[in-house]
Amino acid sequence: GPNGTILMETHKTVGQQMLSFPHLLQTVLHIIQVVISYFLMLIFMTYNGYLCIAVAAGAGTGYFLFSWKKAVVVDITEHCH
């Protein structure tokens, strides 16, 4: 800064527009996720044992295959432990 002082940036503001391709893509993916969730709920509510087992096994298999590596976010400004 002026007078030879050192400025340190602690927060960064990221702007996002409402009518942008990433926001539209996230909206479409959210709609697909909600529709699939409702279909799976309706399948489970048929109380057919085989279908209930298939939904639960599919959810477990998907969790096992795709969530083994989780992103860990550490906030360096957080001082409470």
Find the domain containing 70 and state its range.
Answer: 48-80
Rounded Cα distance, 57 and 78, in Å:
39
Dump pLDDT digits (tens) for 16-69: 788 899 999 999 999 999 999 999 999 999 999 999 999 999 999 999 999 887
Residue 21 lies in a domain: no
Residue 39 lies in a domain: no
Answer whether residue 81 shows pLDDT above 70.
Answer: no
For the record, the structure tokens of 39 come out as 């279909």
pTM for the model: 0.61
Residue 58 lies in a domain: yes
Residue 13: which pLDDT band, with cuts at 50, 70 and 90?
A: low
Residue 37 lies in a domain: no
Residue 74: which pLDDT band, with cuts at 50, 70 and 90?
A: confident
Number of domains forming the structure of the chain: 1
Residue 12 lies in a domain: no
